[in-house]
Amino acid sequence: MTEPTNPVASFIGWLYDSLVWLGNHSQSYLLGFMRWIFGVELFMAGMGHLTHIPSFTDFFVSLKIPFPAENAWLVGFTETFGGLLLAFGLLSRLICIPLTINFIVAFLTTEQKGIQEIFSSFSTDDFCADTAFPYLATAVVVLIFGPGALSLDYLICLWRKKEWRGPRL
């Protein structure tokens, strides 16, 4: 394709190419930022659940979740170690599978009103306002796009001399 002779069209083409270049080169930084912020928060929430297991179990009993004590321990460990692994970008895609399941179950058990509003009035206010929403979104984004180059997964890939199949720096 030939370059346009119109200077305005050339400038718009250059501006668009620059925007694409900037977006492509900032993916790893955004993924690293998301992983770190939500991974640390998830780690702290999981530690809070594990250190207050009786009250967390009572909460599960109030939601009528089967095996409340066992599920409280499972959620606590998943959030604690999942958050730690997510923050450092180690086994990122693998750990995002149980994290995604964890937060989908959290939505199904606590956000019935928000889920009903999505389908009845197309309102996402309650669904997106839930505290589990950013964690679910981060887990899904990392599951799909990978951890980015600012991760231990990337360093292990370099050490093993394998081809990296994710966003680069």
Tell me the backbone φ, ψ of residue 121, rounded to 5 degrees.
-120, 10
CA distance 99 to 138: 10
pLDDT along the chain (169 residues), means of 10: 79 92 90 96 96 96 94 97 97 96 90 76 77 92 93 92 76
DSSP H/E element including 33? helix 27-51
Instruction: Look up the pTM and report it.
Output: 0.84
* DSSP notation for 108-133: HHH-HHHHHHHHHT---HHHHHSTTH
> How do the domains of the chain map onto residue ranges?
26-159
